[in-house]
Structure 1
Amino acid sequence: MKAVEVPVQNHDFVSGLLDFITRSPTPFHAVAVMVERLLQAGFTRLQESDAWMLEQGGLCGRFFITRNDSSIIAFRLTGPLTEHGIHMVGAHTDSPCLRVKPNPVLAAGKYLQLGVEVYGGALLNPWFDRDLSLAGRVSFIDADNHIAHRLIDWHKAIAVIPSLAIHLDREVNDKRSINRQTDLPPVLMRQDGGMAEDGTAFHALLLARVNEEMPDDLPAAARILDYELSFYDMQAPAVVGLQDDFIAAARLDNLLSCYTGLMALIADEHGHNALLVCNDHEEVGSMSAAGAQGNFLKSVLSRLCGSDEAMARMMATSMMMSVDNAHAVHPNFADRHDQNHGPVINEGPVIKVNANQRYATNSETGAMFRQWCAAAGVPVQSFVVRSDMACGSTIGPITASELGVRTVDVGVPTWAMHSIRELAGCQDAYNLYRVLLHYFAN
């Protein structure tokens, strides 16, 4: 197994991760940042609509492709795919959040509020009393009468969901429940004159923001057509703990895996054939053109192989590592874990196992991951959900069944998963990066 040089200190890696999360409030922004890093590293952008002039059999090079601006595949080819296969890493760009509705304006009373949908399995209590901003993709007609799209981000706290005072709800600490329709609309501002509930005034706010962020060399936006906007917490990611043990941030699930996979792919130019896929919509079931149940990855691999025969031969020698955060044992709720399978933060990445195939790991792929961890000098842990509790899932089983590829489900131990602010270990993030370097290289 080829040795791989890695940085001695994880400080720079963790700092880069925090910056990536800060710049990625939505899946669209995360993909945009990844595209920027790939271009800087010398990767070539491909378009799905173009003919790919890639020579089959002796293909070499570094490329990437996006779909819906929210999913991305990047790959490095160093030798024949049918002979050597390809080592793949899968992650997802989306996280639970509050999405703005198409006709969102709630103009009752003296305040402007926006109606929201809960995206994914969000932990809702932590969304109250936070400084919220708004970001996403806006589609519009420009001054040349063309449909165009733009990413926007207010970059400041523009909204809040205030809690009801305990004096008006004396049982809140014992019996609190949240009505998603009536309790969650954020407050944006006081208004005296009122705002039309048909959304025209909100579109005017969006139009102004789009044009503020529009480069001078592009036509101005003239009329808003549609949008996908999400509220997010303005509190910056941070390293916390008395000994700087932890990373506290929004969207660690699963931007931590996206960043780790990206940096490992970029770091080594001459290892094994390697691919990173980061899909959108994992948190809502992956059933979309940009999700893992769509044909994005299969389509790209089929085009690289050139025939069904070549595709089948490549899959037989390939591997998929589904990288998604795992549940660390919570010191206040240790009884929620199987007593023999309670991952501890900063004691290594976790192999996730489920007999009912909610995770795709089997004994063969688990053994291979343990071998890569040993080669990287990284400890490894196991997670199995309690037998009397339901188990979550990942893109691992979806990809394994769609492609017929050997798959292992792994991730770093995390607290407060799906909260507005999650917690993971600094050393775990760095150790996962070290393992992925070995995986991509061999």
Structure 2
Amino acid sequence: MNRPNPKVGIVSLGCAKALVDSERILTRLRAEGYEISATYDGADVVIVNTCGFLDSARAESLEAIGEAIAENGRVIVTGCLGGDQEAIRAAHPSVLAISGPHQYQSVVEAVHGAVAPPHDPWESLVPAAGLHLTPSHYAYLKISEGCNNACSFCIIPDIRGRLESRPIADVLGEAERLAESGVRELLVISQDTGAYGVDLRHQAQDWRGQSRRTHMTDLAKALGELGIWVRMHYVYPYPHVDELIPLMAEGTILPYLDIPFQHASPRVLRSMRRPADHEKLLDRIAGWRRDCPDLAIRSTFIVGSPGETEEDFEFLLDWMEEAKLDRVGCFKYENVKGAAANALPDHVDEDIKEERHQRFTEAARRIADERAAAKVGSVIVAIIDEVDEEGAIGRSAADSPEVDGAVFLNGETELSPGDIVAVEIDAAEDYDLWGHPVGPPS
């Protein structure tokens, strides 16, 4: 009698880098014949891939573990919080196994221990591009693990280790398989994309008959040869970032830069152990936009860091007025277990953090609204994410999934996810656009 294949459920928390870890775990398990369950009660075991960057994220992860235990009972924990086994065991002593981030083999072995793998080789086939938790038309491409920076508010190097870049031939091979499988947009991610290849001394490898350095610029050029959208995330403003701008201007990669500036006040940046030359950054941003007028810049900022004064915060608002960034996220400072910033003097009161967060968010929204309004009457290109009975929802080159704005095409029900279409913009508000197609999808 044939027995049903065991099923594994997964809860993936945190950033896109953790999502890629979840995809790799599922790909390994599916290759062994396990099936994937979308529900707790349909799973023989549940994996919870945790986040541990902020105290609030740690609390969310512990809550998710508790929910999985209550709903299923057989739970394996991995991810960033997995490095703190004592805290997990104290809250949830019944978890079956615990491992840290990107310890794929440990997770697979724990699943084997919980429910043995099937042995039918005909059930062990997976797509060449692997399994993905994103829609089929876009995928995250993780190019490295870890980080060599020592930001005072961050413990990523402690959790995920120092920079460990993937060889460029491996990255490009994965990208090519994704493109061949129908992916139309690649989102390049890491902890520090600009530092890609530093640990490998930018070793060159052959791909498609050409020598390519393990370097951000060579990677961007090569990915551009695949004929799909390429979006760069988590790019620190190193000098060689300037080399990306001509590639964006000529259409090799999308005119989109995700740069986590974090603040603008030199005093606060020094306490964060971050680069503090705000004027040079403004000059570079102006130069980038001069050379690539369509460039969209996304960033994240932290308000309420220890020692941040009202003067520092006003400096940040003034800098934002000059920089006029297109897409902005803002976080209120939180202590993180093990971070150097915890010991800094003059921590900011929570009510002041909240007030500054609201003011910053409103300033960023107003700037985004002005920049979006300037697009009314123009024609842009959008990739379609969703279609229902009311119309289609897509994203422009300035919009990354989940974190940025959307392009609404009301009444356009004949499009399909993954279509790329020219859109004339009729209206704009904050980060979102409304428009209508002016040609057939590609």
Normalising by structure 1, we get a TM-score of 0.27
Q: Which has the higher helix share?
A: 2
Normalising by structure 2, we get a TM-score of 0.27
Compare relative contact order (CA 8 Å, sep 6+) and give the higher one, 1 or 2: 1
